[in-house]
Chains A and B, each alone.
Chain A
């Protein structure tokens, strides 16, 4: 079994990563439309008070999503 890859849900605040793929087809379509493209740099900007959802910086703007959705974005 291979090492589970790092996802956006694993980022710490201020940490950056580069998108390399998605694990959920349907969610990925929405994410693409919102500008989360493979090869894009992504930064975890902040978390909601209860730790979920999170807010990321991507494509020059802020995007919020749930941890569940963030965990479908694979990072290289």
Chain B
């Protein structure tokens, strides 16, 4: 079978990712703000019965000259073709409703000398706006195969597949004559590196410092050459862009009649008059956030109860099947409790990602960035930081990866450093349990759930702390820097159900299998640690309890508690108890803190194991058994002060191995993840200490 290599390239919002989904059938998220496809995504497409294609989806870019990390990825991909394999065909996806600007990238890509197919998307929108094309004339002008597609409905994808199978010829003529502006440099680079096109040589002359394909020696040679011929990169780029637009202008005049395209824009603008209004804009944004938190708490309660009942019944069934002993305990308390700890959060995660996907898809996120930019700037952030910060509410790992679309390194770094302070979905279970202990379940004004309001308050507190930390980092790092906010404002689009559901399924799958693996593994390790201990100590613990033949239940519970204290887990917790006592924690919480440093959601599973090992009553939920814990004086252990102190600790502490690994990868070193770990731990310890000492 023949195998082709195909790359998709185009402006952000041109419909590349949707087309990619149609071509490959692979799941991928599609957003409406610049920079949603950060990583290179690849997939396989069956073009015909005898031809397959490896398709790569490149990040959206406005030009071949990189100004952000996203664009750098595209630049690297195109220049690495000098050393590695060349794609057989590049598909340039173009938004026909924004033809002129989209064509700029097309002319650059074509001049590089790749075989190119033009996929003309959103022609329906363009026609509605009064832009009409003569496709035959366009094909003649551009001299490449043109395929009309609709990436939202999948129309034209089959024609594109058919066009991909046909051989595409490279046309030697170019829109911009590189040799005329920098002849000797272009000739030298072409000959030395055996490059096929003048423009690729010129691009290397421009970007030789940033490229990955040249050795240090080669870079220096080009540097000298550029200096010798007095090539001014900026003014050369300026003139090139103008020349390209001139060529585009000529083409446009030949292929279309331009009328006003007021219809579509006016609709979007009218909506924006309210959505980005001085007062309504922020109220709507707050309302949206409020709706999200209410749904996480209130709407997901029922499905969560079903899961709880389901596991209760399953454990009962296992108990009736197996005799009492280690095996039954292992299955019920080690495995099933761990699984329950994973599955119980699926309803909440589903709601959260449904909202985030809809906001991205519709174009609302861009409006949020627009409204928040001025507010974020004093803190060393920008409107662009809002999207990673809001995504951080779901999970810090993709959120930190989403910072790649921030062009300024300092802004990006600050965003990376403070994003983990946003309350991610892994904190939801911890919050659910602890807020339930701290705040009564009452209704405010008849409809609003007081616990839901408290949850929102904790999210806002995390956000406030992120801003404060950002300000300190901003001042500490100092330095003048240039920050851009030149950003396309997409028109509103109805979110596609398919894209939203794809996003939800992908996220739930990631959580269940990636986080779930860790949670389940730690749940089992914990069960072992809490069940076994130094033999002598365990025997002593059992012997220390006076045998009570009348009240066997009380006796067994006491033995279990004594055994837990003597177990390895007990030793662990006791070891750190002196350090956490000022925060109001005992050694049991100590065990949970230690395990949570792998991932915070483990807290609930740990509590379940610790207390269900200590308690014989399985039927009560974790929260109930925590509520019933009694301290040495016979008072309730989980006072508001203790629960609040724990909440603050989990709100601020860096307890996620995956995030640390991601920050390491994105900042290319250990410096920033280490700083992040320590400043967040300091925040967590300090605030919990203050809270507990003040309110106890």
Give residues in A with beta carbon < 8 Å to B.
Answer: 25-35, 37-38, 45-46, 48-53, 55, 57, 59-66, 69
What is the total of A-B residue contacts with beta carbons within 8 Å?
109
Q: Which of A26, A49, A65, A66 lies in contact with B371, CB distance below 8 A?
A: A49
Is residue B488 contacting chain A, with contact meaning CB distance below 8 A? yes
Residues of B with C-beta under 8 A to A48? 276, 370-371, 373-374
Is the CB–CB distance between B100 and A60 below 8 Å? yes
Binding site secondary structure of chain A: mixed
Is the CB–CB distance between A30 and B277 below 8 Å? no
Interface size on B, residues (CB 8 A): 45
Within the complex, the shortest CB–CB distance from A72 to chain B, in Å, comes to 10
Is the CB–CB distance between A32 and B242 below 8 Å? yes
Q: Which of B101, B104, B242, B373 lies in contact with A52, CB distance below 8 A?
A: B373
Binding site secondary structure of chain B: helix
Is the CB–CB distance between A37 and B245 below 8 Å? yes
Residues of B with C-beta under 8 A to A62? 265, 268-269, 488-489, 491
Is residue B84 contacting chain A, with contact meaning CB distance below 8 A? no
Is the CB–CB distance between B234 and A29 below 8 Å? yes
Within the complex, the shortest CB–CB distance from A25 to chain B, in Å, comes to 5
Is the CB–CB distance between B486 and A65 below 8 Å? yes
Q: Which of B24-32, B62-70, B616-624 interfaces with chain A?
A: B62-70
Contact with A along B352-390 (1 / 0, CB 8 A): 000000000000001000110111000000010000000
Give residues in B with beta carbon < 8 Å to A.
Answer: 62-63, 65, 67, 97-98, 100-101, 104, 129, 131, 234-235, 237-238, 241-242, 245, 261, 265, 268-269, 272-273, 276-279, 281-282, 366, 370-371, 373-375, 383, 482, 484-489, 491
How far apart are the CA atoms of A26 and B67 in the complex, in Å? 10
Residues of A with C-beta under 8 A to B486? 27, 30-31, 34, 63-65, 69
Residues of A with C-beta under 8 A to B65? 29, 33
Is the CB–CB distance between B238 and A25 below 8 Å? yes
Residues of A with C-beta under 8 A to B370? 48, 53, 55, 64
How far apart are the CA atoms of A16 and B472 in the complex, in Å? 41
Q: Which of A25, A49, A57 lies in contact with B276, CB distance below 8 A?
A: A49
With A55-B489, A64-B370 given, name 16 new contacts (CB 8 A).
A27-B486, A29-B238, A33-B62, A35-B104, A45-B269, A49-B278, A50-B374, A53-B370, A55-B370, A59-B100, A60-B261, A60-B265, A61-B97, A64-B486, A64-B488, A69-B486
The 3 closest A-B pairs by CB, nearest first: A62-B489, A50-B374, A35-B101
Residues of A with C-beta under 8 A to B383? 53
Is the CB–CB distance between B281 and A49 below 8 Å? yes
21 A-B contacts, Cβ less than 8 Å apart? A26-B234, A27-B484, A29-B237, A31-B486, A33-B63, A46-B276, A48-B276, A49-B281, A51-B374, A53-B373, A53-B374, A55-B489, A60-B131, A61-B101, A64-B485, A64-B486, A64-B487, A64-B488, A65-B485, A66-B485, A69-B484
How far apart are the CA atoms of A52 and B378 in the complex, in Å? 13
Within the complex, the shortest CB–CB distance from A73 to chain B, in Å, comes to 10
Is the CB–CB distance between B374 and A32 below 8 Å? no
Is the CB–CB distance between A35 and B100 below 8 Å? yes
A32-B241, A45-B269, A52-B373 given; A61·B489 CB < 8 A: yes
Within the complex, the shortest CB–CB distance from A30 to chain B, in Å, comes to 5
Is the CB–CB distance between B373 and A34 below 8 Å? no
Residues of A with C-beta under 8 A to B268? 62
Residues of B with C-beta under 8 A to A26? 234, 482
Within the complex, the shortest CB–CB distance from A20 to chain B, in Å, comes to 13
Is the CB–CB distance between A52 and B374 below 8 Å? yes
How far apart are the CA atoms of A47 and B601 in the complex, in Å? 42
Residues of A with C-beta under 8 A to B482? 26
Is the CB–CB distance between A37 and B242 below 8 Å? yes
Within the complex, the shortest CB–CB distance from B365 to chain A, in Å, comes to 13
Residues of A with C-beta under 8 A to B67? 30
Chain B residue with Cβ nearest A29: B237
How far apart are the CA atoms of A50 and B278 in the complex, in Å? 7
Most chain B CB within 10 A, of A55, A59, A60, is at: A60
Residues of A with C-beta under 8 A to B269? 45-46, 62
